[in-house]
């Protein structure tokens, strides 16, 4: 046995997470079993306490929130519903990833979350969008940043997102999570670009909207970013598109079916007008939004396109290579996509 407390903690946490997983699986069958609830609580309590001792601050913070949920179950204020167990199993696997490969670049990703979720929130509504594609098809979408301008012609036409705008794509050190943003109205002017843009149907300056409310937004964070899409592997997306703020939770249903649970957010202290603006913009991004429906429709097309004609067959197209590190920070990069598949392959031992 190693004498280093940090190494001892890693092993201990791995054992505790295994005990936690077993307790959660048993709770699915015996939701009223108090011993199981206590086991889950104690495992999380120790991970929190010991994790904080040895510098695993993010881990300890997360375990604290998780533990609080089980404390409520323990006190009889809540019960171990199937929904709770499902979320808890997800959270358990997240904790395991955090211990096995601590996320050194998470501050950048965390900054993206804090940039948006900066004040007390209120939930404006929630709903579920079901689509006929694999969950991994959906993961390609927010990582494939150039699809925004090809697929979502509304964005290009009305200038909400264009390739020439200032933008960035930030990945964590392991390529699991990605944070992408673009700033409206920063289109770089160049003769080349103007010439090319003139040939694009979507850049016709004569296109006008009858109702321009969908284009009006307030730069409420004061940094000019009108679009931020932040994706945490394996199941979470946080977006700010103009004034629409929402989280999307991706839940696989079968190899060819997935659910997206949308939760639309605003801030507790905002004026009613701002809430109306956010709700109006769900016509663009939201379970029945123009842009979001294009996303799921294209996921379904990609799934059908890659399925192959016979049983167990699949097709793929290798585009710009397999390199995980090149691609820079512009929107025109496959880097995030390649890192997603690499993460998945490594995790699944493929």
Partner 1 sequence: MKTVLTVDDSPSVRQMVKIALQGAGYGVVEAGDGAQGLSAAKANSVALIVTDLNMPNMNGLEFIRALRQLGAYRGIPIVFLTTESDETMKKDAKAAGATAWITKPFKQDQLLTVVKKLIG
Site residues, partner 1 (CB under 8 A)? 3, 5-6, 8-9, 12, 42, 45-46, 48-50, 52-54, 60, 64, 67-68, 71
In the bound complex, what is the minimum distance in angstroms from residue 64's beta carbon to partner 1? 7
**Nearer residue to partner 1 within complex by CB, 39 or 296:** 39
In the bound complex, what is the minimum distance in angstroms from residue 4's beta carbon to partner 1? 8
How far is it, in rounded angstroms, from Cα 347 to Cα 350?
8
Helix (H, G, I), strand (E, B) or coil at 125: strand
**Nearer residue to partner 1 within complex by CB, 45 or 174:** 45
**Nearer residue to partner 1 within complex by CB, 74 or 136:** 74
**Nearer residue to partner 1 within complex by CB, 8 or 108:** 8
**Nearer residue to partner 1 within complex by CB, 48 or 239:** 48
**Nearer residue to partner 1 within complex by CB, 78 or 186:** 78
In the bound complex, what is the minimum distance in angstroms from residue 179's beta carbon to partner 1? 29
- To the nearest 10 degrees (0 to 180), the angle between helices 5-29 and 82-100 is 160
**142, 261, 273, 141: which is closest to 217 by C-alpha?**
273
Written as six digits, the tokens of 100 are: 């096995």
In the bound complex, what is the minimum distance in angstroms from residue 52's beta carbon to partner 1? 4
Beta bridge partners of 251: 259
How far is it, in rounded angstroms, from Cα 197 to Cα 31?
60
In the bound complex, what is the minimum distance in angstroms from residue 21's beta carbon to partner 1? 17
Question: CB count, 10 Å around CB of 175?
Answer: 22
Left, alpha or beta for 92 (phi > 0: left; psi -120 to 50: alpha)?
alpha
Q: Which one-letter DSSP state was computed for residue 187?
A: P
Residues 184 and 159 sit within 8 Å (Cβ to Cβ): yes
In the bound complex, what is the minimum distance in angstroms from residue 107's beta carbon to partner 1? 20
**Nearer residue to partner 1 within complex by CB, 51 or 234:** 51
How far is it, in rounded angstroms, from Cα 169 to Cα 333?
9
Residues 258 and 250 sit within 8 Å (Cβ to Cβ): yes
Residues 234 and 218 sit within 8 Å (Cβ to Cβ): no
In the bound complex, what is the minimum distance in angstroms from residue 11's beta carbon to partner 1? 8
Beta bridge partners of 130: 259
Residues 112 and 118 sit within 8 Å (Cβ to Cβ): no
């Amino acid at each position: 046995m190693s004498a280093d407390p940090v190494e001892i903690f890693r092993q201990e946490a791995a054992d505790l997470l295994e005990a936690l997983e077993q307790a959660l699986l048993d709770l699915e069958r015996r939701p009223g079993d108090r011993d199981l609830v206590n086991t889950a609580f104690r495992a999380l309590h120790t991970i929190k306490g010991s994790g904080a001792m040895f510098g695993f601050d993010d881990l300890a913070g997360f375990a604290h929130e998780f533990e609080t949920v089980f404390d409520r179950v323990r006190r009889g204020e809540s019960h171990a519903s199937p929904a709770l167990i499902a979320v808890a199993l997800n959270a358990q696997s997240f904790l395991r990833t955090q211990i096995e490969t601590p996320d050194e670049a998470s501050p950048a990703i965390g900054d993206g979350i804090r940039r948006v979720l900066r004040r007390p929130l209120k939930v404006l509504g929630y709903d579920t969008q079901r689509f006929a594609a694999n969950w991994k098809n959906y993961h390609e979408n927010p990582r494939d940043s150039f699809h925004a301008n090809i697929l979502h012609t509304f964005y290009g036409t009305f200038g909400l997102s264009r390739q020439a705008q200032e933008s960035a794509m930030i990945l964590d050190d392991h390529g699991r999570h990605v944070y992408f943003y673009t700033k409206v109205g920063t289109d770089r002017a160049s003769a080349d670009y103007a010439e090319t843009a003139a040939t694009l149907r979507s850049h016709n300056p004569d296109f006008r909207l009858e109702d321009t409310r969908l284009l009006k937004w307030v730069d409420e964070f004061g940094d000019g970013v009108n679009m931020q899409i932040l994706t945490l592997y394996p199941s979470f997306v946080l977006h700010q598109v103009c004034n629409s703020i929402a989280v999307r939770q991706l839940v696989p249903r079968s190899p060819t079916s997935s659910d997206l649970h949308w939760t639309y957010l605003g801030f507790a202290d905002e004026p009613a007008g701002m809430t109306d603006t956010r709700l109006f913009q769900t016509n663009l991004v939201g379970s029945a939004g123009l842009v979001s429906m294009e996303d799921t429709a294209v996921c379904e097309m990609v799934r059908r396109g890659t399925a192959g004609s016979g049983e167990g067959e699949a097709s793929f197209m290798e585009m710009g290579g397999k390199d995980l590190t090149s691609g820079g920070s512009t929107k025109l990069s496959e880097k995030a996509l390649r890192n997603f598949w690499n993460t998945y392959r490594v995790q699944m031992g493929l």
